[in-house]
Amino acid sequence: MGVLLEHLPELWQGLIVTLQLTAASFAGAAVLGVLVCALRVSPVRVLRALGTAYVETLQNLPLLVLLVLVFFGLPEIGIKADPLVTAIVVIAVYEAAYIGEALRSGVNSVSKGQGEAARAIGLTFGQSLRHVVLPQALRTVVQPIGNIFIATTMNTALAGAVSVVDLTASAQRVNLVEAQPIPIFVGAGIAYGLIAAAAGFVTGRLERRLVILR
Amino acid sequence: MSTVLFDEPGPKARRRIRVATVLGTLAALALAALAVRQFAANGQLDAARWQPYATWPMWRYLLDGLWSTFLAAVVAAALSMAFGLLLALGRVSPRAWVRGPAATYVEVVRTIPALLLVYVVLFALPRYGLDLPLFWKLVVPLTVSNAAAYAEIFRAGINSIERGQTEAGLAVGLTRLQTMRLIVLPQAARRVLPSLVSQSVGLLKDTSLGFVVSYGELLYSGKVLAAYNGLLIQTYLVVALIYLVVNMSLSKLARTLEARQPAGSVTLRRRTARA
């Protein structure tokens, strides 16, 4: 325990970086994910193909490969970027594929009759989307999106493997100095667990309030 | 095509779709052109920098790495499926003292990054006298984390089998274990097969953590190769391409298996967002 308290500043700093990575990349992934979903459900075949290519590529590529490629590749093509920002962008781009798919499954879970009824009573495309389809779609994806948030938290640890000092990396650094792995790694594990538990609690509450029984 | 979002397009909508097609194509081409320009401006498209990847020795080296990836993935998948099945059986057990620990394991492990587990095996265990060979330094943490994921898949499968099946088994005088083994599990296994395959894609992706433990799988082989020939972008792009081809084939297999499931059967929610 003592060793944890002694290195609290470093570990705390690592936790802050992990939280920054998680929050920023999840926000980015949400925006990008909506876009990906829009591409995949659009009536334009070219856009659908682009969306599919995006999802297929990113879901079948290990995140670490993407991180390594971008971290070592960018300087080679003459782009200098801050490591934290690079990590945020890469993780956002990666998780966007999963969020896009979750949203799409939400849209697809709304029965066709709902959309047809909306159009039949004369709602425009925007209106039927806003008043009929989206409210139902979003409610069914609370849980999956919550899972993606937790996975994003865990995935930010990989940024530690490419020079960003997040919670996992700082735990490992403290351990290199102190050689007391058990308290340090258990402490880091508990921090991750707490983030996940908080996310699970929020999505659980949201889902109970929003769930539609079909 | 008709979805919940729109009807069969009329003449006006068809015109709009044509416009969007042209604009979308142009935007995609512009993006690609921008990337190519950036690569070319920095000399990354020179033939000399790609030539080596047209030669067999490079490919043989990377394919050796791919073989090590497979080896780690197959062993980790087999172990974590077995362990996951035990955990799932534990979670549906009628005895609380079995259910509790199994549930705790799954819930706790599901929130810990695989990389942290790798560091534990890499740095913590040796201090307590357990210095595993390189292969197991990768496989053990992957097994620990993926067992929880497989357990959830198996549990979902077991829960999706109608109660009447178990009741019928018990009614004809089978024990609980026999009912599980002879009646419930064979049916559950068929239902979760697609999910098992797509989880295995996730596991194969996780083996890239060999990068950290210096186990010679595909990504680590790329690292070594790039350090040797200095062709960073080219090497990592080729590595990425190999991962894509392998994982896309596996994902396609998962979809094929899913399509072959009997109509009306429960489709399990796929696990999302793996590293």
pLDDT recorded at residue A20: 95
Q: Between helices B232-259 and A63-76, what is the axis angle to 10°?
A: 150
Question: How many angstroms separate the CA atoms of A116 and B196, rounded?
Answer: 36
CB–CB of B240 and A61 under 8 A? yes
- List the single residue in A46, A64, A73 with the smallest CB-CB distance to B233: A73
Ramachandran region, residue B129 (left: φ > 0; alpha: ψ -120 to 50; beta: rest):
left
pLDDT recorded at residue B272: 42
Q: Is the ipTM of this complex over 0.85?
A: yes
pLDDT recorded at residue A212: 67
- Highest mean predicted confidence (pLDDT) among A35-49, A84-98, A113-127, B251-265: A84-98
Interface mutation vs chain B, best among A17, A36, A46, most B CBs within 10 Å: A46
All residues of chain A having their beta carbon less than 8 Å from the beta carbon of residue B234 are: none
CB–CB of A95 and B116 under 8 A? no
pLDDT recorded at residue B273: 41
- pLDDT, one tens digit per residue, over A131-145 is 988 888 888 899 899
HSE-up of B265 (CA within 13 Å, CB side)?
22
Q: Are B150 and B196 in contact (CB under 8 A)?
A: yes
Question: How many angstroms separate the CA atoms of B249 and B251, rounded?
Answer: 5
All residues of chain A having their beta carbon less than 8 Å from the beta carbon of residue B39 are: 77
If 0-12 CB within 10 Å is exposed, 13-18 middle and 19+ buried, where does residue B157 land? Answer: buried
DSSP 8-state secondary structure symbol assigned to residue B268 = P
If 0-12 CB within 10 Å is exposed, 13-18 middle and 19+ buried, where does residue B205 land? Answer: buried
Give the CATH architecture of domain A1-210: Orthogonal Bundle (1.10)
Distance from CA of A65 to the nearest CA of B (A): 6
Per-residue pLDDT averaged across A86-97, rounded? 96
- pLDDT, one tens digit per residue, over B133-185 is 999 999 999 999 999 999 999 999 999 999 899 999 999 999 988 999 999 99
CATH value of B55-274 in 1.10.340.70, 1.10.3720.10, 1.20.1560.10, 3.20.10.10: 1.10.3720.10
pLDDT recorded at residue B263: 58
The token pair that represents A123 in the structure block: 């709602």
Question: How many angstroms separate the CA atoms of B207 and B77, rounded?
Answer: 11
Per-residue pLDDT averaged across A15-25, rounded? 95
Q: Which residues contact B125 (CB under 8 A, 6 or more apart)?
A: B131, B132
All residues of chain A having their beta carbon less than 8 Å from the beta carbon of residue B226 are: 72
SS3 A165: coil
CB–CB of B275 and A175 under 8 A? no
Distance from CA of B4 to the nearest CA of A (A): 4
Task: Please state, in angstroms and as integers, the Cα–Cα distance from residue B228 to each residue in A6, A19, A163, B225, following that order.
Answer: 41, 36, 21, 5
Q: Are A148 and A169 in contact (CB under 8 A)?
A: no
Question: How many angstroms separate the CA atoms of B69 and B218, rounded?
Answer: 6
For the entire predicted model, the pTM comes to 0.90
Task: Please state, in angstroms and as integers, the Cα–Cα distance from residue A9 to each residue in A3, A32, A153, A170, B162, following that order.
Answer: 12, 34, 21, 10, 53
Enumerate the H helices of chain B as residue ranges.
11-41, 47-50, 56-91, 96-109, 114-119, 125-127, 134-160, 163-171, 176-179, 185-206, 210-213, 218-229, 232-259
Q: Taking 80 as the threshold, does the pLDDT of residue A2 lie above it?
A: no
- pLDDT, one tens digit per residue, over B58-109 is 899 999 999 999 999 999 999 999 999 999 999 998 899 999 999 999 989 9
Quote the mean pLDDT of chain B.
89
Interface mutation vs chain B, best among A11, A42, A58, A68, most B CBs within 10 Å: A68
